[in-house]
Amino acid sequence: MAQMGWLRVVAGLRACRTPTQCSRLAVGPARWHTHGAKATEEADEGGASQAHNGTLYPSHVPTSPLQKGLLAVGSAVAALINPTRDDSVATLAETTGAMALRSMRDKMAAHPEGARILQERPRVTSESVGGLEALAALPPHTFGHTYGRFMLDQGITPDSRRLVRFVDDEELAYVAQRYREIHDFMHVLLGLNSISVHDEIAVKWFEAFQTGLPMCYLSGAVGPLALPSAERLGVFRDYLPWARKCGQEATFVLNVYYEKRFEEDLDELRRELNITLPPGAT
């Protein structure tokens, strides 16, 4: 009977079109989908009940190795079909990144600023950064001003980042969440001031060499397929050598408490972190 049940799950995964549908087939619906301050409040209220339902943190969905494998396959297929789907990329990162996340956590724990972040667990939300409009009002050339303007110009908000669900370790789940939430800081630091396919590919390649997350390598490999062949060759020629060199030589990006650096000069911060800009970036 159990085998027949899993056969039905596999058949369903073949038919599902999004990682959300796949995750519901494999593990049932998620129980927690809030963000920011509300997420913190629900974490406090729900902590007592977690021991009774097997969850390790409020948004956690416990999964077996087989279930994780099914989710990884489903999300990888969805990501290959449409690399811009953030739900596909998020699920793939969580179900394939255990080894990389442990390495990332160890790098943070061994660094004073990274260890402080692990201890304090800051979240990147509109509220926690003090408001995008307020950041954009900081003096020109500051990190905060450039970040605020980038977010407002692109019409995006830090509150849109998905919560981690499939990482079966509370501390590693936070590392994955932190990585996810500082992504827009990377755009600013790297001078990639749009969310175009070209800029997202460059950021993903940089993150791949920084973190070792399989999802980043897959995104960097598949993303260029959405471009015309001439542009695809240019992206590989211009961005990949830079991403490898910069990603390997720059300070580990999760060891920076960005929320404390908003008033710093952006160019000085880049020099401190040993970040060089890709061709054509500003």
Of 186 and 38, more confident: 186
pLDDT band at residue 19 using 50, 70 and 90 as cut-offs: very low
pLDDT value at residue 84: 66
User: pLDDT value at position 234?
Assistant: 81
Q: Which residues contact 280 (CB under 8 A, 6 or more apart)?
A: 238
Task: Give the residue-averaged pLDDT of 108-137.
Answer: 97
Exposure string over 185-222, b if 16+ CB within 10 A, otherwise e: bbbbbbbbbeeebbbbbbbbbbbbbbbebbbbbbbbeb
pTM: 0.81
Confirm if 217 and 76 have CB atoms less than 8 A apart.
no
185-206 pLDDT tens trace: 999 999 999 988 889 999 999 9
Which is higher by pLDDT, 35 or 234?
Answer: 234
pLDDT reported for residue 76 = 81
Task: Identify the pLDDT of residue 117.
Answer: 98
Q: CA 28, CA 266: separation in Å to the nearest integer? A: 44
List pLDDT tens digits, range 50-73: 555 778 999 999 999 999 899 988
Q: Tell me: pLDDT of 16 over 50.
A: no
